[in-house]
Structure 1
Amino acid sequence: MSTGSGADSAPAPTTHDTKNSARTSMFSSLRIRNYRLFAAGAVVSNTGTWMARITQDWLVLSLTGSSAAVGVTTAMQFLPMLLFGLYGGVIADRFAKRNLLFVTQGAMGLGGLFLAAMTLSGHVEVWHVYLTAFFTGLVTVVDNPARQSFVPELVGPDQVRNAVSLNSANFQSARLIGPAVAGVLTAAVGPGWAFLANGLSFLAPITGLLLMRTGELTPTPLAPRRGKGQLREGLAYVRVHPELIWPIVLIGFIGTFGFNFPIWLSAYADDVFHGGSGLYAAFTTLMAAGSLIGALLAARRRSSRLRMLTATAGLFGVALVAVAAVPSAYVFAALLLPVGALGLTVNVTANSSVQMATDPEMRGRVMSLFMMVFVGGTPFGGPLFGWLTDAYGVRVSFAVGGLVVALASLGVGLILARTAGLRLRVDLRRGRRVVAFVPREGLASGPRARVGALR
């Protein structure tokens, strides 16, 4: 993202693509060699991560019998992002992204190997899982903004949206494979081998980084190593750009209240439908399949619109409320496909719209704020919805999360419309039935015009 140079210098979504390029743009970023290496390494490590995540959640549930304990594990993993997330963005803006990724990917591999050693030796306890989750969270504080802001260096500004969407598709593809492999490994030889596979999987992205042609990267200017006020500069930049701050606020609500699926799906599988770890893995796989569909559809779009973000977020919240009361395991499983697609569309649209509306020099700090808000609410949301699940049942917990997301989407949508100088027009006369936002008279230039251009 950006420096403090102002809104007018921020890159806007391209609008000049031809119809032919729209048809062939779904995988266009993969034509770039360095991005292919990045994506290939990521799909291997992401598969290992999902193997470990599914196994970790089920291991904690097996050791404690408590959904709240699963929520604590999730909270431990994301608490560092809440506490230190903005500093990770400062680090990402100060150092070469590729060098940072060597360190962070290696550290994550070591964390996986530690948990594998404890589990395979038969000495694993819940606090070992908590410790590993917290360590992984600390590393992620730097890894997330470094990876997010490394993408434009790999593909250039014209392919940022496509690459962000393909990154999500990559992650969701691994989410399809990882739980299935984890379920087979856990049933056949125990959970320790899934953790071992995760630790070794980080060799793939490290190898990809080594093989990259550094001369083909387009590095962004680095912030001074010892510059003062860089953190405040990033916060001030976001504060005066409504096209950044309100999508970040919305994604914070969604991350805190709408993305507690490890708690919800494990409870549905165990307490509601009595299917055990196999059903939990199946639910997670179906969510991933829906998310993959959403990511591939997002890769075809040529721009990120804020109205798409708020509308999809609202539909996501409504879908959670509707699915919460489904009595059949088969219907519940089938509905996880559209839920996953909607959730992923929200994430990709928010991510790419923020990236494309931010100046390059600020990208690490802005994306660290984005990720901090998105996952930093989990230390609150995880224990809260774990407690709601234990106390009132998972159906109530699921519905409450969806209701909050829907209301937050409505509120942010109205604020963005007002900021963009729009008003709601309702015309229900016969043959004219129209409900739409239209420009107010006298829409001025400046921040309102800028948000209006992005709508």
Structure 2
Amino acid sequence: MTLFASLRYPSFAFLWAGQTVSRFGDHLYRVALAWWVLEKTGSAAAMGTVLIFTSVPMLLFVLIGGVAVDRFPRAQVMFVSDLLRAAVVGITALLAFTNTLELWHILVASIVFGFVAAFFQPAYTAIIPDIVASEQRPSANSLTALSAQLTGILGPALGATIVALGGTASAFALDALSFLIAALCILPMLRLQPPEQLNARAQANPIQEFRAGLRAVVTVPWLWLTILLLALMNLTQAGPYTVSLPFLVKESLGDDVQVLGWLYSAAAFGSVIAAIWLGRKTGFHRRGIVSYLGLVVSGLATLVLGLAVPLPMLLLANVLIGASLNVFNLIWYNTLQEMVPNDLLGRVSSIDYLGSFVLLPIGYGLAGWATDLFGAAEVLFIGGVLTTLLALIGLAQPAIRKLN
């Protein structure tokens, strides 16, 4: 099998192309948003608040999204999601162009983004087995990660350049255009006949449907253990990395948005390396041990960000963070798609999403508060230590070590 084998399936090829463009826009938006909030407020707490307003709606509605994804055509759910996001970012760009954009506008946009993500993310995970054969799913998942990270190498650096030359409004507008292109690429999939079980489940009791998905999680130790540990790791790692890193650049690296773009791009480069390596495989051996070792490495690399090291070491640490986290993510997605029945995959994916990210808004808030109080370097160092310890606790569990 080659890395590009899954592109032989036209539906996946269109989906992948559209989402590649959309993810490119996402990277532009992330840099523009971070710098806009930084310049507008100068507050890490404000940055954390924006991220909380994105995360909470996603967490509130993701279980509903998972049930919907297992009841209705997944391509339709994704199509509507992309159109909604294009409209929201387009309005944000218009406000920015007219110099009327305020923090509360960003917060409202973040709420809509979070709501839409609650439906889009489970749909994307669950639709892959519908359109790609099992032996090509490692290729499909790796290409998904590869497109995100290849655009991530160019996106942050280009986004920083666009912000420096044309302002944040230009980056917002390009992101809106990327969502429209992604929606157009999903159009051919709307004609596909959905799996037969969708028609039957559309008449079922949604509460019973959710309970069936929950049973599928709590009866499998490796599944609920990982979801629990990921919830804690998002508190200790994702919160500090997302909120504190821009302020580390501002405090220690000369207040240069280009440096922030380089660090994001370094993490994306590491993810590309992992995606290319894993995308050539047809299966994964000792997947529990390998994936959790990736989490250990990511924790240690996050710890390094909090040390007084030169920029080349920070870039290397970001490469390791990107590579090690992508090793875990790709093995995890393939494991879900292989070991969870397809008719439960949307619900299990939504429970995984909720459980893994339920503490993330708290992590954003704590990271913002702690960064303002103690400094970005201290927050990243402590977060890295705690993340490493959590990964080692997971690695010590027999259910994880025996996952093969």
Shift of 1:133: 0.9
1:399 is aligned to: 381
Q: 1 CA distance for matches of 2:222 and 2:5?
A: 27
Structure 2 match to 1:371: 353
Alpha-carbon offset, residue 340 of structure 1: 1.3
Query: SS at the partner of 1:72?
Result: helix
Aligned-residue CA RMSD (Å) = 1.9
Query: 1:295 maps to what in 2?
Result: 275
Deviation string for 1:113-149 (max 9, x for gaps)?
1111111111111111111111100011001101111
Identity of aligned residues (%): 26
**1:220: Cα distance to partner?**
6.4
Within-5 A mapping of 1:268-417: 268-304=248-284, 305-415=287-397, 417=398
Larger Rg belongs to? 1
Give, as a single letter, the amino acid of the residue that structure 1 aligns with 2:244: W
In 2, the alpha carbon distance for the partners of 1:119 and 1:409 equals 42
Q: Distance in 2 between matches of 1:128 and 1:406?
A: 37
Does residue 1:224 correspond to 2:202, yes or no? yes
Matched to 2:371, the amino acid is: T
Which shifted more, 36-45 or 197-206?
A: 197-206
How far off is 1:169 after superposition? 1.1
| Alignment coverage as a number of residue pairs | 398
Residue 59 (structure 2) pairs with residue 82 (structure 1): yes
Contact 2:63 2:350 in 1 (8 A): yes
Q: Which residue of 2 aligns with 1:97?
A: 74
Q: What residue ranges of structure 2 are gaps of 5+ in the alignment?
A: none
Distance 1:272 1:60 in 2: 19
Structure 2: how far apart are the matches of 1:251 and 1:357?
A: 19
Amino acid in structure 2 at the alignment position of 1:224: A
Q: Secondary structure at the match of 1:327?
A: coil
TM-score (norm 2): 0.93
Secondary structure at the aligned position of 1:221 is classed as helix
Q: 1:137 to 1:31 in 2, by over 3 A?
A: same
Q: Distance in 1 between matches of 2:194 and 2:394?
A: 35
> 1:234 — aligned with what?
213
Counterpart of 2:230 in structure 1 is 251
Tell me if 1:263 matches 2:263: no
Q: CA deviation at 1:218?
A: 7.3
Aligned partner (choices 74, 87, 98) of residue 110 of structure 1? 87
Distance 1:196 1:322 in 2: 35
- Structure-1 separation of matches of 2:53 and 2:350: 18
Counterparts of 2:324 and 2:21, CA distance in 1 = 25
Q: TM-score, normalised by structure 1?
A: 0.83
Q: Deviations over 1:226-248 (max 9, x none)?
A: 51421122112100011322222
1:158 is matched with which residue: 127, 135, 147?
135
Structure 1 position 158, deviation (Å): 2.3
Q: Which residue of 1 aligns with 2:11?
A: 34
Structure 1 residue 322: Cα displacement: 3.2
Residue pair 2:34, 2:47 contacting (<8 A) in 1 also: yes
